[in-house]
């Protein structure tokens, strides 16, 4: 089966600019997650979708981050405006089970200068 | 606040050595503990543990959970250079939504 697809692979922007990441989960997976992984840290959950509804966005900085999953399939994560501390790898994951993500994409590495 | 602590943070060994990676946790509503291997890109799933004392095994890797003492270990025997990676421990907490809380990871380097 095809894995979780993410794009772009890398992105370099200046602070205060906007950026968007895209994720296409494994076909049929109802649950989709966005994680932020800062260098030297484990992934931190930003938002979890079940189909097209938000289940948990308690750690999403809502003043600058937004995410949507229209039609319950692929998803976009946006940052506007970006700050230096947003530099990280943004991982998307999907799951068909209810015990947590077990299928990660390769991530988008964001560098904010 | 839910917390997952891994030790050591980094480890350098020679091929053929056996290593033990540790993960301790303090979370509400524990559901399961998961181990992932992260090389350059996506974390890949290794094990999920839900019950104490039952060892999960896959080739040279094995893991066990102690729910009383709130920790898990991941063992790798006869290490190979291909085992070099970051090993992530995560705890699945169930409190209205599924949420994985990750530790910082253990960076394992296996030298030839």
Task: Report residue A54 CA to chain centroid gap.
Answer: 13
Size of interface A-B (CB pairs under 8 A): 59
Asked if residue A31 has pLDDT above 60, the reply is yes
Which residues partner with B73 through β-bridges? B22, B64
Torsion of CA A81, A83, A89, A90, to 10 degrees: -30
- Asked if the structure places residue A86 within a domain, the reply is yes
- Asked if the structure places residue A24 within a domain, the reply is yes
* Domain at A52, CATH number: 2.60.40.10
Task: Identify the weakest region by mean pLDDT among A74-83, A85-94, B62-71, B97-106.
Answer: B97-106
> What pLDDT is attached to residue B36?
96
Using the beta-carbon criterion (under 8 Å), do B102 and A42 form an inter-chain contact?
yes
Mean pLDDT in residue range B72-92: 97
Contacts of A96-99 spanning 24+ positions with Cβ under 8 A? A96/A26, A96/A28, A96/A29, A96/A30, A96/A31, A98/A31, A98/B98, A99/B31, A99/B32, A99/B48, A99/B92, A99/B98
Contact residues on chain A for B34, CB-CB shorter than 8 A: 100, 102
pLDDT classification of B98: cutoffs 50, 70, 90 = low
- Residues in A 13-52 with any Cβ partner in B closer than 8 A: 31, 33, 40-45, 48
Closest CA to A4 of A19, A26, A22, A20: A26
Asked if residue A15 has pLDDT above 70, the reply is yes
Range of the domain at B64: 3-111
pLDDT classification of A2: cutoffs 50, 70, 90 = confident
Spatial separation of the C-alpha atoms in residues B23 and B41, rounded to whole Å: 22
Average pLDDT, chain B: 92
Cα(first)–Cα(last) distance of chain B, in Å? Answer: 41
- Asked if the structure places residue A67 within a domain, the reply is yes
**Considering its fold, how many domains does chain B have in total?**
1
Spatial separation of the C-alpha atoms in residues B72 and B33, rounded to whole Å: 8
> What pLDDT is attached to residue A99?
65
- Asked if the structure places residue A31 within a domain, the reply is yes
* Domain at B102, CATH number: 2.60.40.10
- Asked if the structure places residue A106 within a domain, the reply is no
> What pLDDT is attached to residue A72?
84
Using the beta-carbon criterion (under 8 Å), do B104 and A41 form an inter-chain contact?
yes
Spatial separation of the C-alpha atoms in residues A94 and A74, rounded to whole Å: 10
**Considering its fold, how many domains does chain A have in total?**
1
Spatial separation of the C-alpha atoms in residues B86 and A8, rounded to whole Å: 23
- Asked if the structure places residue A90 within a domain, the reply is yes
Spatial separation of the C-alpha atoms in residues B95 and A21, rounded to whole Å: 28
Flag whether residue A107 sits within 8 Å of chain B, measured between CB atoms. yes
Range of the domain at A82: 5-97
pLDDT classification of A98: cutoffs 50, 70, 90 = low
> What pLDDT is attached to residue A24?
96
In total, chain A counts a number of residues equal to: 113
Range with the largest mean pLDDT of A52-56, B12-16, B92-96: B12-16
Mean pLDDT in residue range A42-52: 91
> What pLDDT is attached to residue A1?
65
- Asked if the structure places residue A104 within a domain, the reply is no
Using the beta-carbon criterion (under 8 Å), do B98 and A91 form an inter-chain contact?
no
Flag whether residue B67 sits within 8 Å of chain A, measured between CB atoms. no
Spatial separation of the C-alpha atoms in residues A45 and A33, rounded to whole Å: 7
């Amino acid at each position: 089966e095809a894995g979780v697809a993410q794009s772009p692979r890398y992105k370099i922007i200046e602070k205060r600019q906007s950026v968007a990441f895209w994720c296409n989960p494994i076909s049929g997976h109802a649950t989709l997650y966005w994680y932020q992984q800062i260098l030297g840290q484990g992934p931190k959950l930003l938002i979890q979708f079940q189909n097209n509804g938000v289940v948990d966005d308690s750690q999403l900085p809502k003043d600058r981050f937004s995410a949507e999953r229209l039609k319950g399939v692929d998803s976009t994560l946006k940052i506007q405006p970006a700050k230096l501390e947003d530099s990280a790898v943004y991982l998307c994951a999907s799951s068909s089970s209810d015990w947590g993500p077990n299928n990660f994409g390769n991530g988008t590495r964001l560098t904010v200068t | 606040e839910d917390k997952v602590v891994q030790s050591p943070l980094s480890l350098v060994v020679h091929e053929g050595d056996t290593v033990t990676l540790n993960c301790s946790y303090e979370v509400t509503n524990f559901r399961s503990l998961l181990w992932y291997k992260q090389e350059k890109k996506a974390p890949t799933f290794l094990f999920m543990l839900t019950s104490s004392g039952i060892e999960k095994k896959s080739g040279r890797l094995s893991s066990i959970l102690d729910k009383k003492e709130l920790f898990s270990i991941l063992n790798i025997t006869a290490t190979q250079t291909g085992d070099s990676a970051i090993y992530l421990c995560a705890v699945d907490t169930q409190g209205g939504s599924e949420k994985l809380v990750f530790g910082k990871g253990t960076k394992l380097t296996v030298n030839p």
